[in-house]
Amino acid sequence: MRTLRTSMIAAAIAAAPLLAAANPCADPANNTKADQALSLARSGKNAEAEAAAGAVLGACATHPVAIAALGQAIVSQKRYDDAIAKMTSAVGAKQDLAYAYLWRGYAYYYKKQHDKMVGDFETFLKLAPSAPEATTVKQLLASIKR
């Protein structure tokens, strides 16, 4: 039994590069780059974050961390229409990208399109109810609904 398990693990390790090549979203290098892009966005290095996220999204258009980094970078630069377009494109490709809804919601918030913001924030909360941003989103929704 131990030999079978060991050989299965060895086969999985050997296949990992092939799987990453077949599915760039599973490529550890893209995950690392996406994490770096998010770190840059959170540090306010928005142009660098946007470039890094764009590189990942070029290989995997629906990488959730790269989408989050791109959304944060664009909204932080007050390019709300661009954020709305890119996040809309992302959710058009994959509807469970929670952070695409979050950043599109923020873009709508800053454009004072609260009806659209509410829908995106509610969708974000359904997809990521325990996300660190959930409390802030709930507070924004409560302030709008008063």
Lowest mean pLDDT among 8-22, 33-47, 126-140: 8-22
Query: pLDDT tens, 61-108?
Result: 999 999 999 999 999 999 999 999 999 999 999 999 999 999 999 999
> How far apart are the C-alpha atoms of 66 and 82, rounded to whole Å?
16
Q: Which fold has domain 24-145?
A: 1.25.40
Task: Specify the pLDDT at position 10.
Answer: 42
Q: Copy the structure tokens of residue 121.
A: 């924030």
Task: Specify the pLDDT at position 146.
Answer: 65
Give 45's contacts (C-beta < 8 A, 6+ positions apart). none
Contact 55, 33 (CB under 8 A): yes
Query: pLDDT tens, 6-33?
Result: 444 444 444 344 333 446 788 899 999 9
Q: Output phi, psi for 39, to 5 deg.
A: -65, -40
Q: Copy the structure tokens of residue 2.
A: 């131990």
Task: Specify the pLDDT at position 117.
Answer: 95
Task: Specify the pLDDT at position 23.
Answer: 62
First to last CA, the chain: 62
Lowest mean pLDDT among 10-14, 40-44, 123-127: 10-14
Contact 123, 101 (CB under 8 A): yes
Task: Specify the pLDDT at position 13.
Answer: 42
Contact 36, 52 (CB under 8 A): yes
Task: Specify the pLDDT at position 18.
Answer: 36
Task: Specify the pLDDT at position 144.
Answer: 84
Task: Specify the pLDDT at position 68.
Answer: 95
What residue ranges do the domains of the chain occupy? 24-145
